[in-house]
Structures are given as C-alpha cells and as structure tokens.
C-alpha cells in the first residue's frame, strides 16, 4: 500500500522528537510535513532542532524544511496531523484543522474533557472512538479530533484496566514522581530541580483526576457514564530524565485475592494486541517480581517505551481491601507520542477498517 502521509506540529520539542523517532520507519506512515514555532519556519529541521534522543536524527528527516504551524499552512495532501503543540496555541489550530477536514491526533490538553472528543488510551477504552459520530454530528466538520491522555493518566489507566475487570474500587490515592522531560525540552531550569523535588505540577492533579474518570467511563448511547470512585492525586517533579513513577493505593470494593490480581495483570492484553497494531507492545503491562522494581532508568524502555512496568503489588490491609502497587511508564512515549501513533493505528484499522 502507499504510505499514509502525516504531519507533525510541534516537531522540535521532546514529544515532537519522539514522534519523528517512531514515524521515521513506520510501516504505514510517512512523514510529509513538519512544523515548529514561527521563527523556525523555512529552516531545515536539523538546524531548528536540538536533537536529544539516542538514535541519531535520521538524515532524510534532518533535511526537511519546516513549514508553518498555522492550520492554513498544512498542505492538503496530508492525511493525519499529529499535534504536539503547546496548549496555549493548540486549541485554535486543531479546531481549524478539523474544520479543514484533517484527522487530528493530539497530545495537547485542550478539549480533552469535551463530551464529543474521544480521549483514548488504546488498550483501555478503544470503544470510546465511537464518540467520533457524536463529534461529527455536533461540530459539523469533516475532520476528526482525537486526544491522547496526559502522560500520568495514560500510565495510570492502563494499570487500572485489568484490576477493574475484577472489581470496582471505592477510592484511589496516587502520588506521582514525574520526570524532567514531562516539562518539555526547555521547560524546567536545571537550577530549580537538581538535588531537589518540586511537589507541585501546574494543572496536573486536576487533569489526572478528570481524564482518568473520563477514560474509565462506560460508553452508552454516545454518552460517557463516569465511574463513581474517588481519586486523590499529588503530583511531584523529581530529578529523573524520563518516565514517571506512580505509587497507587486502591480500596477495592470487594475482596479479590492478590493472586487473582497478579494473574490478571500478568495476562492483560487488549484490542491493539489482537489487531497486531505496529506500535502496540506485545505485553502492555510488564509485572516485575523483584522487590525494588520498577525503576526509571532500568524500565523506561520496556516494550520500546510502550509497556508500563508494575511492581510492589501488595495487599496492605486484607480487611479493608487496600491494594498498593508502583507503576512506571515512559511519559513521552506511552504518555504522549507513542500513544498518539497507536491511536492513529487503531483509528485506521479498528474504526475506519481501511487497513
């Protein structure tokens, strides 16, 4: 087949670089268009980017001249637009692109909580893709906007999916330790975070709470029915380069044995695996039995960054059904670019059925 032409907006940032890394050799997609900030328009990508990933920047990508990142700038022959735009500018551009008829798959936060915008973590709520019909009806545009969740939520909800197959929960308490890359390539000054922890990330706790509830909702007649449990979130920034670690406590609604939970976590697999999507990890959840795992430096590349890694799964209180685990995921891959690409694959094969 001819490859599908994709654009990447926000291509020089850290998520943009992850898009390029994963699209450069993608079996279905071909990078057709790159854009970054207005100042870098016209420059060669190699001259505009501070490339920070370990695989070298592919030579053919390096030579692409950057286009503009306004909606009008994106050429018509592009099929899918991946957006890694900063939140401040994303909304207008993405809406305009959808009006122009593009399929926009976006890592930016605006619109994530809108009732007609699918917020997809592919293994968890692929069926929410069907909100697209509602979107078309309501917005009246030919295009599509699909969002991937914020990084912490992507990791969290994937870890919850198999457990919620066994029992509902009463409440969830989570403390996160989020890496530097989550603030963007140049978002966090070194002097502020080195030998330090910042126990606050703007808007993060709100996002984790509300995006989690949306993703875990049941879709019923094009409406999402939220689950009823409570979520208590504290988000912190720690001096680690990549991947977020999350300490999760659940009060389960009914008694489930630890063995059963571990069994369910270990065997978890979902539609992306069954469809054999190119970016789907063979094991979305990797369970470690060593007492001191997961660890960011050792586990951030698991499943090429698309698997989450769980450890320290313990029942802390059998009477009260308190379950605790620690989960780690690669924030710029599973929590951003990789997730977007997996959504694109899902959209084409599962929703449109064109591949």
* Contact footprint for a second copy (CB under 8 A): 14, 50-52, 54, 171, 173, 175, 177, 180-181, 183, 185-200, 230, 232, 234, 236, 238-241, 245, 247, 249, 291-298, 301, 311-312, 316-317, 320, 322, 324, 326
Cβ proximity to a second copy: between 247 and 262 the closer is 247
Residue 244 appears among annotated catalytic residues: yes
Choice between 5 and 43, CB closer to a second copy: 43
User: In terms of Cα–Cα distance, which of 160, 182, 161, 184 is closest to 172?
Assistant: 160
Nearer Cβ to a second copy (115/258): 258
Nearer to a second copy, 140 or 189 (CB): 189
Nearer of residues 125 and 307 to a second copy, judged by Cβ: 307
Nearest distance from residue 348's CB to a second copy, in Å? 31
The beta-carbon contacts of 37-46 under 8 Å, at least 24 apart in sequence, are 37/12, 37/69, 38/68, 38/69, 40/12, 40/66, 41/66, 41/67, 41/68, 41/69, 42/66, 45/11, 45/12
The phi, psi pair for 144, rounded to 5°, reads -145, 140
Rounded Cα distance between 261 and 238, Å, is: 30
User: Going by C-beta distance under 8 Å and a sequence separation of 6 or more, which residues neighbour residue 40?
Assistant: 12, 48, 66
Considering the complex, what minimum distance in angstroms separates the CB of residue 132 from a second copy?
Answer: 34
Q: CB 276 → a second copy: shortest distance, Å?
A: 22
Helical residues (DSSP H) of 36-150, grouped into ranges: 45-48, 59-62, 87-99, 122-125, 131-139
At residue 274, the 3 state secondary structure works out as: helix
Shortest gap between Cβ of 245 and a second copy (angstroms)?
5
Nearer to a second copy, 190 or 354 (CB): 190
Task: State the Cα–Cα distance between residues 58 and 62, nearest whole angstrom.
Answer: 6
* 341 burial level (CB within 10 Å; 0-12, 13-18, 19+): buried
Q: Are 104 and 146 in contact (CB under 8 A)?
A: yes
Nearer CB in complex with a second copy: 134/174: 174
Whether 222 is catalytic? no
Q: What span, in angstroms and rounded, lies between the C-alpha atoms of 345 and 26? A: 11
User: CB 251 → a second copy: shortest distance, Å?
Assistant: 9
Angle between helices 151-164 and 258-267 (to 10 degrees): 120
The two beta strands, 80-83 and 218-220, are unpaired
The answer to whether residues 17 and 51 touch, using CB atoms and an 8 Å cutoff, is yes
Alpha-carbon span 69 to 226, nearest angstrom: 35
Work out how close the CB of 185 gets to a second copy at its nearest, in angstroms, rounded to a whole number.
6
Smallest gap from residue 50 Cβ to a second copy (A): 7
Q: Which of 136, 220, 244, 263 is catalytic?
A: 244
Question: Residues 26, 128, 151, 301: which is the catalytic one?
Answer: 151
Angle (CA) 18-20-21 rounded to 5° is 65
Q: Which residues are catalytic?
A: 151, 244
């Amino acid at each position: 087949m001819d490859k599908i032409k994709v654009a990447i907006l926000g291509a020089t940032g850290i998520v943009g670089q992850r898009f390029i890394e994963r699209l450069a050799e993608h079996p279905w997609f071909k990078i057709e268009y790159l854009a970054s900030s207005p100042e870098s328009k016209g420059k060669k990508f190699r001259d505009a980017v501070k490339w920070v990933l370990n695989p070298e920047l592919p030579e053919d990508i390096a030579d692409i001249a950057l286009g503009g990142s306004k909606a009008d700038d994106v050429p018509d022959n592009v099929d899918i637009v991946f957006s890694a735009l900063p939140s401040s500018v994303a909304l207008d551009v993405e809406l305009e692109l959808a009006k122009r008829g593009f399929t926009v798959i976006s890592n930016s936060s605006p619109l994530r909580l809108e009732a007609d915008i699918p917020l997809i973590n592919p293994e968890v709520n692929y069926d929410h893709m069907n909100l697209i019909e509602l979107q078309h009806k309501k917005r009246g545009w030919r295009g599509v906007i699909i969002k991937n969740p914020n990084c912490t939520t992507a990791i969290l909800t994937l870890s919850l999916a198999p457990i919620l197959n066994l029992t509902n929960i009463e409440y969830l308490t989570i403390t996160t330790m989020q890496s530097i890359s989550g603030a963007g390539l140049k978002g966090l000054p070194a002097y502020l975070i080195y030998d330090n922890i910042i126990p606050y990330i703007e808007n993060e706790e709100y996002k984790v709470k509300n995006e989690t509830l949306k993703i875990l909702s049941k879709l019923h007649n094009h409406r999402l029915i939220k689950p009823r449990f409570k979520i208590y979130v504290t988000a912190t920034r720690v001096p680690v380069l990549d991947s977020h670690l999350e300490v999760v406590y659940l009060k389960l609604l009914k008694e489930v044995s630890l063995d059963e939970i571990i069994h369910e976590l270990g065997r978890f697999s979902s539609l992306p695996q069954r469809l054999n999507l190119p970016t789907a990890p063979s094991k979305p959840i990797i369970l470690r039995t060593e007492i001191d795992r997961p660890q960011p430096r050792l586990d951030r590349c698991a499943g090429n960054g698309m698997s989450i890694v769980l450890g320290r799964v313990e029942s802390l209180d059998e009477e009260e059904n308190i379950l605790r685990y620690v989960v780690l995921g690669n924030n710029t891959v599973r929590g951003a670019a990789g997730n977007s690409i997996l959504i694109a694959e899902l959209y084409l094969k599962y929703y449109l059925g064109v591949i």
